[in-house]
Structure 1
Amino acid sequence: MQLDFFPSRTLTLYLAKMFVMRIFAVLVMLVLVLLMLDLLSATGDILAYPGNGQGEVLRYAGLRLPQLISRFLPYSVLLATLITLVTLNQNSEVVAMKAAGLSAHQVLSPLLLTAAVVSIVSFGFNERVVTRANGTLKAWEAAEYGPIPTPSAGAGGTRANVYLTDGTNILSAAALTGSGKDIVLSGVTWYERAPGGIIREQIRSPRATFAAPGWRLEKAARFDVAGAITDTMPTLVVGKDLSPETIMLQSVDADAQSFWELSDSIDAYEAAGRNTDEMRAKWWHRLSGPLSALLMPLLGSIAAFGLARSGQLFVRAIIGMALGFAYFVVDNAALAMGSFGGYPPLLAAWAPFVLFVLLGETVLIRTEE
């Protein structure tokens, strides 16, 4: 038996090339089908805005494409693993490799190496492309697929669906641009509530700026709930206890920030004495999420071993698929538990990965080694 972890260079390249081609084919198939289904549901809303046409539909598709690639790349690696290993098993190539003295881990090593490269590429793609697409798409959806408010020079990006509380009152905005005292809120609604939570007044404004203190609503339309009276006023200042720093902290979107930006936001939250469990769980998951691709060859390896003519190859493929999808279910559940404090963030992000690594190794060793 060879002592090297990898088989020969020729065999490694052969298996890696076969695996990469199947990952790409499955990913393209999944993304195209899901993108078409998504467009069927979103096209009506996009075209409902006056002036939108084919260009806006294509823009939406371009923003959704990175999200779908990021979300379904691990699934593609799982399905490509099963297709690759089942094909090798049916053609007795696994038998030939075993007869040459290769262990099960050596047979899988080219697939694991390829999956590790996919994980690294996935991390970089998420940080450079997906986070920006998330922020832009959310801001566009908040503007009801109309023009997105443009940030002022030197200011931060656009954030969507800002929701703030000032005592019993509520300030919401469809979009936020700028930072610090240069913050501009668009699509603003102010709810003035009684101590029991009953809304007394609702004030809508297309734009709000910092008034030091408070926020100046422009062209405000006020509706008095008790008297059912609507009146307008040129300007109105509300939310005098809401500082720009408070708004910046409460409007953080973890999905639209890169790994390092999210780290800075967590530090700012901790300095302000705010709970960071949800953000820290997502921060850890930025590392463990892409590594799920590395796990898929191990979970699907049960389909590689065992004689194809025994009639159990299909059952083995189903078991491998079940293990892979079970990981995604457990991973999502653990992340949800970590987001609201049920699990520590580190445990929520890494426990499913470690658990299924051990499970995959146990299945592999007991069935083959």
Structure 2
Amino acid sequence: MIHALTDFFPSKTVSFYMARSFLINTFAFLFGLVLILQTLDLLSESGRILAFPGNGDAQVWTYVSLRAPQIIATFLPFSVLLGTIVTFSTMNQNSEIIALKASGLSAHQVLAPLMIAGLGVAIISFSFNDRVVARASSTLAAWKKVEYGPLPIDRGDRSNVWVRNGSHLIHAQQIKGRGDAAILGGVTVYERDGAVLKSLVRAKAGRREGNGWRVQGAERFDVATGKLTPLGDVIVGQGVRPDQFTLANVDAESMSFGALSEAIDDLKTAGRPTKALEGSLWHKLSGPLSAVLMPLLAAVFGIARSGKLFVRAVMGMGLGFLYFVADNFALAMGNLGAYPPFLAAWAPFLLFAMIGEAVLLKSEE
């Protein structure tokens, strides 16, 4: 069985040559795209970074280190597409595709080394997104909230969370822990009568007790009289659940696959909608796997025997870009609830895989 599998590929030398050319072209395009886009992004953002007193070159480079992973994650699939097109175009110009097919290899056999290399790129992409991009996105989002001031230390806690309790608003500067073990820090309760603010209750800390939250050392400030009254330990936020604090802002882009899956389970337990987040969770898998699909879409026109190489390369590029348009559209529809989560993440991938396979089989006939 192993011998039959190896016979499906071209020779070891040819397979290594094709995979190496594909990877070199892919990462060369990626480097160029990241360099250009990071420069343009920095031109628009550097003014805001340097506007904060005390910021200088170190903060600019910090921004680059946090923004570059996001650009890499976004444009790696584009680079795979361009790398595949250039690889096949070069091999066509050198008559290498003709030589391979004249030796009896099918289009699928010619494509096999690039598909395996694309699978390797997909695995690297998923690991990079999960380990690097998620953390960089979370840190950059927190840094932007403080207008590029002193970079917050990320200890896995949530900060600056607002929760509505009837007509009242509750603000917590920091939340540690989950469930009934959650601890609130820097609690402010805005007590309102309709839309009119009546008083503020401030406390340093609070924890879950019964159906509410016991805050310690609380003080009430009456807006009308300006009087400050010590309250001691009191119960606030009756009926406010812990998940309303800990899961108030779930950003799929800033969370790893495992953390997002765990957050979705917690939201389901709390009876809250999760369709949009489930679509994002599935897309964390289908997105990197587009690196396997790109060689197939480019090969539709790159392995064909007809002439007009430039026209076929443009058509292959157009088909690849059409996939990214469909992918973003399906994901947007999933976020709006128009598509089921699985369909929103996987439908474009499966659709274009079938299109590519059908056209490739047709060209073989």
Q: TM-score, normalised by structure 2?
A: 0.85
Q: How far apart are the structure 2 equivalents of 1:235 and 1:43? A: 46
Deviations 1:49-102 (A, max 9, x none): 111111111011001111111111001000111111111111111111111111
Instruction: Indicate whether 1:247 and 2:245 are aligned.
Output: yes
**1:19–1:111: 8 Å Cα contact kept in structure 2?**
yes
Q: Aligned ranges for residues 120-199 of structure 1 at < 5 Å?
A: 120-150=123-153, 157-159=156-158, 162-171=161-170, 176=174, 178-179=176-177, 180-184=181-185, 195=194, 198=195
Deviations 1:237-289 (A, max 9, x none): 97555344320022322222211111111111111111110111111111111
**1:139–1:159: 8 Å Cα contact kept in structure 2?**
no
Q: How far apart are the structure 1 equivalents of 2:219 and 2:55? A: 28
Q: Aligned ranges for residues 1-369 of structure 1 at < 5 Å?
A: 4-150=7-153, 157-159=156-158, 162-171=161-170, 176=174, 178-179=176-177, 180-184=181-185, 195=194, 198=195, 200=197, 209-210=205-206, 213=212, 239=237, 241-307=239-305, 310=307, 312-369=308-365
Q: How far apart are the structure 1 equivalents of 2:316 and 2:14? A: 23
Q: How far apart are the structure 1 equivalents of 2:46 and 2:189? A: 31
Q: How far apart are the structure 2 equivalents of 1:332 and 1:135? A: 22
Q: How far apart are the structure 2 equivalents of 1:190 and 1:60? A: 35
Deviations 1:204-228 (A, max 9, x none): 99x964266559699999897xx9x
Q: Tell me the amino acid that sits aligned with residue 116 of structure 1.
A: L
Q: How far apart are the structure 2 equivalents of 1:220 and 1:146? A: 30
Q: Percent identity among equivalent residues?
A: 48
Q: Tell me the amino acid that sits aligned with residue 23 of structure 1.
A: T
3-state DSSP of counterpart to 1:281: helix
Deviations 1:138-175 (A, max 9, x none): 11111111124446xxxx514466443222444567x6
Deviates most, 67-76 or 142-151: 142-151
User: How well do the aligned residues superpose, as a CA RMSD in angstroms?
Assistant: 3.2
Q: Tell me the amino acid that sits aligned with residue 305 of structure 1.
A: I
3-state DSSP of counterpart to 1:134: helix
**1:138–1:160: 8 Å Cα contact kept in structure 2?**
no
Say if 1:99 and 1:63 are closer, same or farther in 2 by CA, change over 3 A: same
Q: Tell me the amino acid that sits aligned with residue 39 of structure 2.
A: M
Deviates most, 3-12 or 235-244: 235-244
Q: Tell me the amino acid that sits aligned with residue 332 of structure 2.
A: A
Say if 1:32 and 1:218 are closer, same or farther in 2 by CA, change over 3 A: farther
Q: How far apart are the structure 1 equivalents of 2:216 and 2:147? A: 21
Say if 1:211 and 1:102 are closer, same or farther in 2 by CA, change over 3 A: closer
Q: Tell me the amino acid that sits aligned with residue 265 of structure 1.
A: A
Deviations 1:325-357 (A, max 9, x none): 111111111111112321111111111111000
Q: How far apart are the structure 1 equivalents of 2:38 and 2:28? A: 15
Deviates most, 242-251 or 157-166: 157-166
Q: TM-score, normalised by structure 1?
A: 0.84
Unaligned runs of 5+ in 2: none
**2:275–2:335: 8 Å Cα contact kept in structure 1?**
yes
Q: How far apart are the structure 2 equivalents of 1:177 and 1:263? A: 20
Say if 1:306 and 1:246 are closer, same or farther in 2 by CA, change over 3 A: closer
Q: How far apart are the structure 2 equivalents of 1:214 and 1:184? A: 12
Q: Tell me the amino acid that sits aligned with residue 156 of structure 2.
A: G
3-state DSSP of counterpart to 2:284: helix
Say if 1:219 and 1:35 are closer, same or farther in 2 by CA, change over 3 A: farther
Say if 1:46 and 1:12 are closer, same or farther in 2 by CA, change over 3 A: same
3-state DSSP of counterpart to 1:252: coil
Q: How far apart are the structure 1 equivalents of 2:58 and 2:229? A: 36
Q: Tell me the amino acid that sits aligned with residue 183 of structure 2.
A: D
